[in-house]
Amino acid sequence: MWKLIRAEKFNRRLKEYSKNHPDEVLCVLDNLNKYFFMLENGVKPRLISMGCIHIEPKGIIALDQKGSKGKLKQTRLYIYPDEEKEILYVMTLGDKHSQSDDIKECIKFVDDIRKGIIYE
């Protein structure tokens, strides 16, 4: 049974983004719910196909705001599915301007998970 763990950085950014970009937040969280539902129903992470998925290094996945109506600011929700432990880590939330730094931070986060530094 998969479980979801939210990183502290995600919690901080969620609070900030919810104030300034509530529609974008709702959309990426909806995409997260759909992704998590598929995991819980036995679909392997690498086999999940959604129009909002962007594959990043180290198995990181960025879910964007696609799937909503209207013109929304480009937003990315960075997640990492640990298939062995069945844990979906929700690492951070960002936009096009923070994308490069967000990916670097997520790579370090995943490296720490793999080294056993970050625990569930």
Residue 16 dihedral angles phi and psi, to the nearest 5°: -65, -50
Average pLDDT, the chain: 94
Q: Half-sphere exposure of residue 69, counting CA atoms within 13 Å on the CB side?
A: 0
What average pLDDT does range 32-38 have in this prediction? 98
What average pLDDT does range 42-52 have in this prediction? 95
Q: How far is CA 102 from CA 61, 84, 85, 119, in A?
A: 12, 24, 24, 21
> Cβ distance 77 to 32 under 8 Å?
yes
DSSP 21-45: -HHHHHHHHHHHHHHHHHHHTT--G
For the stretch 75-95, pLDDT in tens is 999 999 999 999 999 999 999
Q: Which fold has domain 3-115?
A: YaeB-like fold (3.30.2310)
- pTM, entire model: 0.94
Which pLDDT belongs to residue 119?
59
